[in-house]
Amino acid sequence: MTAKPLIALPACRMTADGLTFHTIGDKYVRAVAEAADALPVMLPSLADAVDPTEILARVDGIVLTGSPSNVHPEAYGAAAHEKAEPYDVARDATTLPLIRAAVARGVPLLAICRGMQELNVAFGGTLYARVHEVPGRHDHRKPEGDLDTRYGPKHRIALTPGGVLARLVGGEELWVNSLHWQGVAEPARTLAVEATAEDGTIEAMSLPDARGFVLGVQWHPEYEAAANPTSRAILGAFGEAARQYRAGLVRESV
């Protein structure tokens, strides 16, 4: 039986009671296991001790998760400020070089929420610290209520005709959840916009020149992914790309 692809998920790093923890939400690893049909493994945020090239030599895909933290403004050429807090500079130091190395190697990459923001910053784009404070933009923060309310459909997005996402899910628009306050301001020049909200907020991005699968989405397809056709389409396509990578169809010769 062919082994399932191995997917690394970089962890958030946080402190409690004076101790440091590396954490990933259950919904992300479960979505990789169930909707992508792959094996999830946590990648600790240890940029000072872990070489991204060694990681990429052993895995078949990367999933960048959402997080309570934001990308530090210094990573995209801005000054630190209270509105962009909280930060996780250990995660930034891990994910930003990992993204660039993964793309160069052709390793499939799926970036979710903070992950899409990291994808944009990794290639030179910038971020809004608080989208809801930008004139003309709507409030994209999570609604109050139980989990199903918080992760339920909140607004429509228009898909770029002929784009990667439109081909994956079909149709011209989607209803998506929304639980973020940071968002893409200036998109990186090498990235393509795959979807936008009605207020112009960028909701999905891809990398047209990538050797492998690269897709970022601003919403959370990982929530109850196995029961959601759109989530299954996205995660299923990522999982298939990882299987192909594992089979050597797009792997570098070494």
Indicate the pLDDT class of residue 229, thresholds 50, 70 and 90: very high
The stretch 41-56 carries a mean pLDDT of 92
Token duo for residue 58: 């052993």
- Report the amino acid identity of residue 162: G
Among 118, 194, 203, 222, which one carries the catalytic annotation? 222
Candidates 12, 72, 113, 118; catalytic one: 113
Nearest to 213 by CA among 237, 191, 230, 194: 237
Q: At residue 204, what is the residue type?
A: A
**The pLDDT value given to residue 83:** 85
pLDDT at 103: 97
Residue type, 177: N
Q: Which of 122, 220, 218, 245 is closest to 237 using CA atoms? A: 245
Q: Is 173 a residue of the active site?
A: no
Q: Which residue has the higher pLDDT, 240 or 3?
A: 240
Fold of 6-246: Rossmann fold (3.40.50)
Report pLDDT for 52.
Answer: 85
Residue ranges covered by each domain of the chain: 6-246
pLDDT at 249: 58
Known active-site residue 224: no
Structure pTM? 0.95
* Per-residue pLDDT reduced to its tens digit, 51-78: 988 999 999 999 999 999 999 999 999 9
| Cα 235 from Cα 221, distance rounded (Å) | 8
